[in-house]
Amino acid sequence: MSAWTKTGSAAVFILVGSMATVATAQIDYDSIRNEIGTVSIEARVQRFEPIQSVVAGAFPIHTSNYDVVAVWDPAGGRAHESWDMELIYPLPGEMQISFTSNETVGTRRQSGGLAGRSVEPMESSRIGANFKDLWLSNPILLLAHAEQRAVSNGDRDDNGDRNDQPLESHQLALEGTEWLVEIDGTSGLPASASTTENDPHRGRIENRIDFSDWRDVDSIPFPFRLEQFTGDRLVRREIRAGVDVNTEDAESVLAFEVSELPPGDPAMRRWGWDMSHIVLKRAGGGNIGNYPQIDNVAIEEIAPGIFLVPSTHNNLIIEGPEGLALVDASWYPERSHTLLARMAERWPERPIRYLILTHHHIDHTGGMRPVIETGASVVTSEKNAGYFREVFESTMAQDVNLIEVGQFLSLDGIGREIHAYDVYTEHADGMIAAYVPDEKLLFNADLFSPNRPLQFSLWFDDLMNAIDWHGIDVEKHVGGHGSGIAAHPVDVSGHTMPVIRRLETGAN
Ligand SMILES: [Zn+2]
C-alpha cells in the first residue's frame, strides 16, 4: 500500500491495482456523512480478557455479559453509552454503568459492582477509549468520516483463511490514527476494521473487529454481529438487537451539563485512545485501570531494608548490600518509569537484580518492560515461563534472564536471602509468594490484602494452606493490594466471606 490522497470529499479515492470492485462504489460515503446525525445501537455483548486467565497464555477468560445502548453523534463528537452488566470476573455480581460525554469531558454514573454507587467526571482516558471503540465498531461511519483514504485491491495472503474472496483494503487516517478497513470482495461490505494499539506486554498489537450479518437501516448498511480480537485473541462478541439513525430522543440522551465538569486532559485522552482494548476489557472492574498512576509513587520503609510502594497495586522493594529486588510491576510502564527514577535517586549505585512476578496478570505485570530493560532477571513460576519467554523473545531486543520457580527457590543475588514459594490457588495457576527470612515477611498478590475489611475466603485459604504446606515461618504479611503490614496468624474473624454475599449486601 503506497498511494495516499487527501480527500475533501470522502467518496473520492485512488484505486491501486487492477481489479476494482464495483460494490464499494455503491456506498455513497458523502451522503452517509451528511445524513447521519446520530446512530443508536442496542446490543448484547460478551467480553473476554486474555491476560487474566488462570493459566498464562491460555484461552481468554469470560469476564462479563452486558446489554448496551449506545447513542452516538460522530460528527459532533458526542456519545452516550449505558451498560447493564452481569460481572463474572474478577468477582461475580451486577453493575450498571453509563457514560455521557463530548470529546473532552463527560459524566460516568455507576451502581453495583465493586465501586458502589457514584456519579463522577468521566476519565479522559475512558473518553478516548470509548470514542475509539465507536469508530472501530462502525466501519461505514469510519469510512465516511475518514480524513484521508487510500484504497488497494488484492488477496490478503497473510490471513487468507478469513475470506477466500479478493479483498479491497482501505487505509484511513482519522484523529491522527491509521486504520485499515477490508472490504469483502463478494458483498462489497467491510469484513474487518483494525488499527494498532499499545499493549503493556506486547508493545504494538492489532485491535481488530470482524463484521457479519449486515442489514440495511434507512438504506445504510450496518453489521449486526461483531467479533473483536487483540493480537488475534478474542476479547468481545456482540450481537446487535437494533440500530436506528436520527432518532427523536437522541438529543435529550446526549445532553449533559458541561460547565459543572473539570477540564479534560488531552494527554490522558490520547493515552486511553492508544490502548482502548486495555481500558475497555475490564470495563466491569471499576475505574482503577483508567489511570497510569504516575503521581503517587512513594517508597515507604515498612521493615529494615524492606519498602512498600503503595498504590492500588503495590510493589515491594527488598534492599541488599549487593543490589535490590522488586516484587511485581504495576499495571502500566508509565508508572514503572517513575518508580525506577525514584529508586535510582535513592540507591544510585545499586542495580535491580530481580523482578519477582507473583503471577502473570497484567495489573501486576504490565509495567515489567522498563524494569527488565535495566537488566533485572525475571523470577516467576515455572508454569508462567513459556508465556513470558514467548513475550520477551517476540517483543524485546535484549536477552532476558528468566529464573523459574518450582516448589521453592532461594535467591542470593542481592546479598540478602529471598525465598520464592509456589502457591496453589484458584486465582492463577503460576502463583508464587516472596519471603524475606530475616524479617519473616511474606508478600503475596491478590490472595490476602492486609488491612482490608473483607477478603475473598477461597483465595485467602489458598495462601494459608501454602504457608502450612511449605512450613513458612511468617510473622508479617504485605500484599499487592491492601496497605501496610498484617501480623500472622491473621485474625480474619468477621472479615472473610464468600464474595457473593458481599456483593448482595452492597458493602464496599
Ligand atoms: Zn491476579
pLDDT tens column, 247-281: 999 999 999 999 889 999 999 999 999 999 988 87
For residue 268, the CA-to-ligand 1 centroid distance in Å is 25
Q: How confident is the model at residue 107 (pLDDT cuts 50, 70, 90)?
A: very high
pLDDT at 14 over 50: no
pLDDT at 237 over 70: yes
- The pLDDT, as a whole number, for residue 16 is 40
426 against 91, higher pLDDT:
426
For residue 445, the CA-to-ligand 1 centroid distance in Å is 7
- The pLDDT, as a whole number, for residue 67 is 97
Euclidean distance between CA atoms 427 and 152, whole angstroms: 47
For residue 338, the CA-to-ligand 1 centroid distance in Å is 23
Least confident of 15-19, 210-214, 236-240, 380-384: 15-19
> Which class is 300-505 in CATH?
alpha beta
For residue 3, the CA-to-ligand 1 centroid distance in Å is 46
**C-beta separation of 301 from 309 below 8 A:** no
- The pLDDT, as a whole number, for residue 208 is 98
16 against 234, higher pLDDT:
234
For residue 359, the CA-to-ligand 1 centroid distance in Å is 7
The predicted-structure confidence for 114-146, as pLDDT tens digits, reads as follows: 667 889 999 999 999 999 999 999 999 999 999
**CB-based contacts of 19, cutoff 8 Å, min separation 6:** 153, 154, 166
Q: Which residue has the cell 472501530?
A: 136
The most distant pair of C-alpha atoms in the chain lies apart, rounded to whole Å, by 75
Please tell me the pTM assigned to this model.
0.87
For residue 130, the CA-to-ligand 1 centroid distance in Å is 25
- The pLDDT, as a whole number, for residue 440 is 98
Q: How confident is the model at residue 191 (pLDDT cuts 50, 70, 90)?
A: very high
50 against 209, higher pLDDT:
209
In the chain, the amino acid numbered 158 is D
The predicted-structure confidence for 303-361, as pLDDT tens digits, reads as follows: 999 999 999 899 999 999 999 999 999 889 999 999 999 999 999 999 999 999 999 99
DSSP state of 505: H
For residue 349, the CA-to-ligand 1 centroid distance in Å is 33
Euclidean distance between CA atoms 381 and 362, whole angstroms: 15
Cell of 20: 476494482
* Torsional sign, CA 452, 456, 459, 463: positive
In the chain, the amino acid numbered 454 is L
pLDDT at 19 over 60: no
**CB-based contacts of 403, cutoff 8 Å, min separation 6:** 354, 377, 378, 379, 380, 409, 411
Dihedral class, residue 285 (left if φ above 0, else alpha if ψ from -120 to 50, else beta): alpha
Please state the rounded mean pLDDT for residues 383-387: 96
For residue 375, the CA-to-ligand 1 centroid distance in Å is 25
Euclidean distance between CA atoms 184 and 187, whole angstroms: 6
Euclidean distance between CA atoms 313 and 318, whole angstroms: 17
- The pLDDT, as a whole number, for residue 5 is 38
For residue 53, the CA-to-ligand 1 centroid distance in Å is 9
**C-beta separation of 210 from 162 below 8 A:** yes
Please state the rounded mean pLDDT for residues 25-46: 91
**C-beta separation of 40 from 71 below 8 A:** yes
For residue 315, the CA-to-ligand 1 centroid distance in Å is 14
For residue 219, the CA-to-ligand 1 centroid distance in Å is 47
Name the residue among 361, 298, 355, 290 with its Cα closest to residue 328: 355
- The proportion of the chain whose per-residue pLDDT surpasses 70, expressed as a percent, equals 88
pLDDT, mean over the chain: 88
The predicted-structure confidence for 410-448, as pLDDT tens digits, reads as follows: 999 999 999 999 999 988 999 999 999 999 999 999 999
- The pLDDT, as a whole number, for residue 498 is 61
For residue 394, the CA-to-ligand 1 centroid distance in Å is 24
CATH superfamily of 5-290: Lipoprotein localisation LolA/LolB/LppX (2.50.20.10)
Dihedral class, residue 68 (left if φ above 0, else alpha if ψ from -120 to 50, else beta): beta
For residue 327, the CA-to-ligand 1 centroid distance in Å is 14
For residue 119, the CA-to-ligand 1 centroid distance in Å is 28
For residue 52, the CA-to-ligand 1 centroid distance in Å is 7
**CB-based contacts of 232, cutoff 8 Å, min separation 6:** 206
Cell of 167: 479483498
Domain with CATH 2.50.20.10 in the chain: 5-290
For residue 54, the CA-to-ligand 1 centroid distance in Å is 9
Q: How far is CA 110 from the centre of its chain?
A: 19
Q: How far is CA 126 from the centre of its chain?
A: 11
Name the residue among 332, 322, 386, 382 with its Cα closest to residue 354: 322
For residue 422, the CA-to-ligand 1 centroid distance in Å is 15
For residue 419, the CA-to-ligand 1 centroid distance in Å is 20
For residue 244, the CA-to-ligand 1 centroid distance in Å is 40
Domain with CATH 3.60.15.10 in the chain: 300-505
Cell of 224: 449486526
- The pLDDT, as a whole number, for residue 186 is 86
